């Protein structure tokens, strides 16, 4: 059986865009973390990123450093960030 793959499309604040090579679901968590917390995110150069499945349906949408879709994942991100802030 084939594993489902996900493709990430990134738009930078400069207007340039980048399409990443597809990754399998087991690598998706690190992709999301990199897009929200990595160096490019920290520098504020990512305007929007979308992750699409093999049928080109958006499964994750990120604006800046914030997940906005799906709402459940956005809520988890908010809770994680609050926990990180309170532990400092």
Q: What is the pLDDT of residues 62-84, one digit of tens each?
A: 999 999 999 999 999 989 889 98
- Model pTM score: 0.85
pLDDT tens track for 21-60: 999 999 999 999 999 999 999 999 999 999 999 999 999 9
Tokens of 45: 């150069």
- Can you tell me the mean pLDDT for 5-27? 96
Q: How many domains does the chain have?
A: 1
Cα separation, 61 vs 73, in Å, equals: 10
Tokens of 35: 């897009």
3-state secondary structure of 63: strand
Location of structure tokens 């609050």? 82
Cα separation, 7 vs 25, in Å, equals: 10
Instruction: Please calculate the CA angle 22-67-28 and round it to the nearest 5 degrees.
Output: 25
Identify the domain containing residue 35 by its residue range: 5-86
Q: CA-CA-CA-CA torsion for 49, 52, 58, 61, nearest 10 degrees?
A: -20
Tokens of 73: 């994942």
């Amino acid at each position: 059986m084939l594993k489902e793959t996900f493709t990430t499309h990134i738009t930078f604040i400069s207007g340039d865009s980048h399409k990443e090579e597809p990754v399998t679901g087991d690598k998706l968590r690190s992709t999301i973390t990199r897009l929200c917390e990595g160096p490019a995110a920290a520098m504020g150069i990512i305007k929007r990123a979308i992750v699409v499945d093999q049928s080109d349906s958006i499964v994750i949408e990120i604006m800046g450093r914030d997940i906005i879709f799906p709402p459940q994942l956005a809520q988890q991100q908010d809770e994680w960030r609050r926990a990180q802030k309170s532990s400092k």
